[in-house]
């Protein structure tokens, strides 16, 4: 990250993350409402006069809230495949997530990257790791998994499919 001739930005960062969730679970499914509030404060220590004249500040505070609702059901049946007994599961899942847009362009990127693509990352509201970016979104994620479990309780095979549907374009980026 470079600001007006400053090759290296030094900062102190203080991050708090408070999450309130109420998982409702039983043998056949779950519903988890969740609200999360993140506050990150930066104190930049080596901004030069040009950077300050360009409008960069020595301190920056960002507050972001995330809300989500996730639900799923567990279905299973006994079956055999080539005369081997299995339990097959079918696990549909849905998540709604909302993160309002917050301008984060004044914050350098110290340790943030995009999440690695996986089925479980589809159900993470924030598409970034680290504390320097929190992605804006309003989305619904749909997914389904099916597992084959043998008599010893070991998972032999799993297949998962998922899709995210965005209600508006995302504006926060790693730039």
Write out the two tokens for 5: 């001739």
Cβ proximity of 121 and 73 under 8 Å: no
- Can you give the pLDDT at residue 54? 56
Cβ proximity of 76 and 85 under 8 Å: no
Phi/psi at 121 (5° precision)? -70, -20
Write out the two tokens for 16: 């708090």
Rounded Cα distance, 173 and 175, in Å: 6
The DSSP 8-state label assigned to residue 121 in this structure reads G
State whether the Cα torsion 95-100-101-104 is positive or negative: negative
Instruction: Tell me whether strands 113-114 and 84-99 are parallel, antiparallel or unpaired.
Output: unpaired
- Can you give the pLDDT at residue 12? 86
Q: Please list the ranges in the chain whose pLDDT falls under 50.
A: 1-4
Burial of residue 88 (number of CB atoms within 10 Å: 0-12, 13-18, 19+)? middle
User: What Å distances lie between residue 169 and 69, 71, 74, 103, 138, CA to CA?
Assistant: 20, 24, 32, 14, 9
Rounded Cα distance, 35 and 98, in Å: 10
- Can you give the pLDDT at residue 56? 60
12-33 pLDDT tens trace: 899 999 999 999 999 999 999 9
């Amino acid at each position: 990250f470079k600001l007006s001739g400053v090759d290296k930005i030094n900062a102190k960062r203080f991050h708090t993350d408070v999450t309130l969730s109420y998982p409702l679970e039983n043998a056949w499914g779950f519903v988890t409402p969740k609200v999360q509030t993140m506050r990150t404060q930066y104190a930049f220590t080596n901004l030069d006069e040009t950077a300050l004249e360009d409008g960069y500040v020595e301190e920056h505070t960002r507050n972001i809230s995330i809300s989500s609702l996730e639900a799923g059901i567990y279905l299973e049946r006994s079956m055999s495949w080539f005369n081997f007994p299995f339990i097959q599961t079918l696990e549909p899942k849905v998540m709604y997530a909302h993160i309002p847009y917050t301008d984060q362009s004044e914050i350098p990127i110290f340790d943030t990257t995009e999440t690695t693509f996986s089925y479980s990352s589809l159900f993470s509201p924030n598409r970034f790791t680290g504390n320097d970016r929190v992605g804006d979104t309003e989305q619904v994620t749909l997914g389904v998994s099916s597992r084959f479990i043998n008599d010893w309780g070991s998972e032999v095979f799993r297949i998962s499919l998922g899709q995210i549907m965005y209600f508006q374009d995302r504006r926060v980026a790693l730039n």
